[in-house]
Amino acid sequence: MSRTQIRTDIDGSIATITLHTAEGINVMSADVLRDLQKEVKTVAGAHGVRATILTGEGKVFAAGADIKAMASFNADQAAAYGKLGQEVLNDIESLPSITVAALNGAALGGGMETALACDFRIAVKSAKIGLPETSLGLVPGWAGIPRMTKLIGAARAKKLYLSALPISAEDGVPLGLIDEVVNGAEDLMPRVTAFCQTFKRGAPQAIALAKRAWRTGDDIAAFAECFGTSDAKEGIAAFLEKRPASWME
């Protein structure tokens, strides 16, 4: 099987990171994780990016970790793989732009953990999602348990990762795991692109600081830091002058 490749496209204020494999099954080996990390860092440093879309091509969004490689792991190798996965997903979570996982197909195991590192998730109706690791005698190792717990609560999260049962994207909506569902692949990217536009009203620097406050729980520090930004000066001036704010892109 060929290795999963990562492609990044930046169109105006929207960056799209795409996983693609010739066979259509995206698997996140250690090398793929490193490639993904490079692309995420490129997007983080790109000027004017307001939204980042993470998606896949083929049958799945991401089938998760490389099970064949893990078959020969010892505990130290497993720890290194888990640490790498967490570093990459932390980089995704730390992006200053709005992040949306566009689930073109199944997001299971490491694929679901990757989607959980994004701010939002929009999926095709046919997508299956979940954390099935316990059915392999394993546990999610890329911070999927704490991220899912923070998102939907301990009781709902435990039911999913302890049962190892996948659920449909539609069933993920009332849980809060999925934000929106579209009928098919042809509807996915147009809807995700339109969804990203709904955040244009927010100031880029304020959005980045609000995301940091969510991660760290320190909203006072984020609030105080706003007052040293050009966005806060413009936003307050625009409010007082009764005009639309104009953000520096």
Annotation says 87 is catalytic: no
Strands 14-20 and 5-11: antiparallel
Q: How far apart are CA 32 and CA 34, in angstroms?
A: 5
pLDDT over threshold 80, residue 212:
yes
pLDDT over threshold 70, residue 233:
yes
Cβ atoms of residues 141 and 85 within 8 Å: yes
Both structure tokens of 53: 């879309």
Q: What is the pLDDT of residue 197?
A: 94
pLDDT in tens, 57-100: 988 999 889 999 999 999 999 999 999 999 999 999 999 999 99
Q: Of 87, 113, 225, 234, which is the active-site residue? A: 113
Cβ atoms of residues 245 and 235 within 8 Å: yes
Q: What is the pLDDT of residue 1?
A: 58
Cβ atoms of residues 70 and 127 within 8 Å: no
pLDDT over threshold 80, residue 248:
no
pLDDT in tens, 132-190: 999 999 999 999 999 999 999 999 999 999 999 999 999 999 999 999 999 999 999 99
Q: How far apart are CA 58 and CA 105, in angstroms?
A: 8
Rounded (10°) angle between helices 219-226 and 204-216: 160
Annotation says 113 is catalytic: yes
Q: What is the pLDDT of residue 64?
A: 87
Average predicted confidence (pLDDT) for the chain: 96
pLDDT over threshold 90, residue 209:
yes
Q: What is the pLDDT of residue 58?
A: 87
Q: Which domains does the chain have, with CATH numbers?
A: 5-197 (3.90.226.10), 204-240 (no CATH)
pLDDT in tens, 100-144: 999 999 999 999 999 999 999 999 999 999 999 999 999 999 999
pLDDT over threshold 90, residue 2:
no
Q: Of 39, 133, 186, 241, which is the active-site residue? A: 133
